[in-house]
Amino acid sequence: MRSRLVGQRTALVNQIRGLLAEYGLILPQQIGHVRRGLPSLLEDTENGLTALVRELGRELYAELVQVEKRIECLEGQLPRSTPLPLAIDSSGFKVYGEGKWRVRLHGWRTWRTWRKLHLTVDEATGGIVAAVASEAGVANDNALPDLLRACRARTAA
């Protein structure tokens, strides 16, 4: 809902700026510039705006104020989440293939390979929040999306 209102606000500001640009009046792109500058432009009788454009400008400004109030109201009702300070690190570990019984039974030699364990740790408590195992060559930044999914799943539960 909030994103839809923000989109409406952006469309209104663009419409206001476009209407004024047709008369050679340019306002900077930020919403604050339009909010502060439009009332004075509408009151200035010597800038070449017609009575109809002034009335349309007032209506658009009133709509902009209304949409901004709705956005503020929604933001006040949305729950605020506090960021969780997390640290991410990884360590390698050795994985052995066929077990000793297989070697004795079939005479095969064991093989070893390295894997990497990526950990997300709560900095405040030192507890592990999420863990993901990967191939040895996977960097922490490549494992980050999987770690974040695991963190979200854990905090949602």
User: Over the stretch 32-83, which tens digit does the pLDDT of each residue have?
Assistant: 888 889 999 889 888 888 999 999 999 999 999 999 999 888 877 766 666 7
Predicted confidence at residue 155, as pLDDT, reads: 61
Predicted confidence at residue 135, as pLDDT, reads: 86
Do 49 and 20 share a structural domain?
yes
Mean pLDDT of the residues in the chain: 82
Domain, as residue range, for 24: 2-77
Helix 31-43 to helix 2-21 angle (10° resolution) is: 40
Domain boundary residue, one of 45, 77, 109: 77
Tokens 């009788």: give the residue. Answer: 45
CB 25 within 8 A of CB 41: yes
Do 54 and 8 share a structural domain?
yes
Domain boundary residue, one of 34, 57, 77: 77
Predicted TM-score of the model (pTM) = 0.50
Do 147 and 90 share a structural domain?
yes
Number of domains in the chain: 2
